[in-house]
């Protein structure tokens, strides 16, 4: 396989949140919501906030599975509604922004072999095609900067494009920015349903499943599987 460009998924392929992230970020998110609800004149108990947060996360998951991007604003609006707080667009927008920013309180955990992207970037144009949740594209760029991985020439983040995988538009945004046709590209991602199926539906001839974090099975069969990104080098040769 000799592609002209490579696109990568972000979450579960290059990075995971890791334990430190969860220990620092989640309490900060609950704190922000508790403060916002007090500000709205509708204080709530922490357990209520946690429960509403979980329900909003499930709604996000459902939207994602249906091929739609749910902005953080909509998640916060849902939490306010679940807890009976008044709908205050300004406060909801501010709270959404604060929740997003918590993502910078801890570094993400790189997955095995991620450093090889620097070598790949010397030979191939690279792009990211990633669905985003509570951490938007602008902050994922900052995480890449922190990790010394500013190797991508193009980005397709669902919060910026409105397209989630497996929709071909999500992939095309990145490919068009690189000036490469789908038939000339290779995609690397961890989820068969979104990454592998989406890449093939877009017209990619090659889609590699990264299984170094966890192996997820699905009906879309990848061209190859790798458990460490360094395994991409012999594959590309």
Helix spans in 156-207 (H): 158-161, 168-178, 197-202
Residue 49 token pair: 């906030």
Bond before 166 cis per omega within 30 degrees: yes
Pairing of strands 126-130, 15-16: unpaired
Reading phi first (left if > 0) and then psi (alpha if -120 to 50, else beta), residue 11 is in beta
How far is CA 159 from each of CA 11, 115, 153, 181, 189, rounded to the nearest angstrom? Answer: 14, 26, 18, 23, 19
Q: What is the DSSP string of 103-157?
A: GGGS--EEPTTGGGHHHHHHHS-EEEEE--SSS-HHHHHHHHHHTT----SEEEE
CATH architecture group of domain 5-16+109-236? 3-Layer(aba) Sandwich (3.40)
User: Can you give the residue ranges of every domain in the chain?
Assistant: 5-16+109-236, 19-105
Beta bridge partners of 206: 186
How far apart, in whole angstroms, are the C-alpha atoms of residue 156 and residue 148?
Answer: 20
HSE value, Cβ hemisphere, 13 Å, CA-based, for 162:
0
Question: Mind listing the pLDDT tens digit of every residue in the chain (237 residues)?
Answer: 689 999 999 999 999 999 988 899 999 999 999 999 999 999 999 999 999 999 999 999 999 999 999 999 999 999 999 999 999 999 999 999 999 999 999 999 999 999 999 999 999 999 999 999 999 999 999 999 999 999 999 999 999 999 999 999 999 999 999 999 999 999 999 999 999 999 999 999 999 999 999 999 998 999 999 999 999 999 998
For position 1, what pLDDT does the model report? Answer: 63
What is residue 227's three-state secondary structure? coil
What is residue 14's three-state secondary structure? coil
Under 8 Å between Cβ of 218 and 192:
yes
How far apart, in whole angstroms, are the C-alpha atoms of residue 214 and residue 211?
Answer: 5
């Amino acid at each position: 396989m000799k592609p002209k460009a490579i696109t990568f998924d972000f979450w579960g392929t290059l990075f995971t949140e890791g334990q430190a992230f969860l220990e620092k970020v989640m309490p900060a998110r609950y704190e922000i919501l508790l403060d916002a609800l007090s500000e709205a004149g509708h204080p709530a108990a922490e357990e209520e906030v946690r429960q509403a947060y979980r329900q909003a996360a499930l709604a996000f998951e459902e939207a994602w599975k249906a091929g739609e991007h749910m902005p953080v604003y909509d998640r916060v609006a849902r939490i306010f509604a679940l807890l009976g707080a008044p709908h205050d667009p300004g406060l909801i927008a501010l709270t959404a922004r604060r929740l997003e920013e918590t993502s910078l309180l801890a570094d993400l955990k790189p997955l095995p072999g991620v450093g090889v992207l620097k070598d790949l970037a010397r030979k191939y144009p690279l792009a990211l095609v990633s669905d985003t949740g509570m951490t938007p594209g602008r902050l994922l760029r900052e995480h890449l900067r922190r990790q010394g991985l500013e190797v991508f020439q193009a980005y397709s983040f669902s919060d910026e494009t409105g397209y989630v995988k497996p929709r071909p538009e999500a992939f095309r945004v990145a490919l068009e920015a690189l000036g490469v046709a789908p038939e000339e590209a290779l995609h690397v991602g961890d989820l068969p349903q979104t990454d592998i199926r989406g890449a093939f539906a877009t017209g990619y001839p090659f889609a590699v499943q990264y299984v170094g974090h966890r192996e997820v099975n699905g009906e879309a069969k990848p061209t190859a599987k790798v458990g460490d990104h360094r395994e991409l080098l012999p594959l590309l040769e």
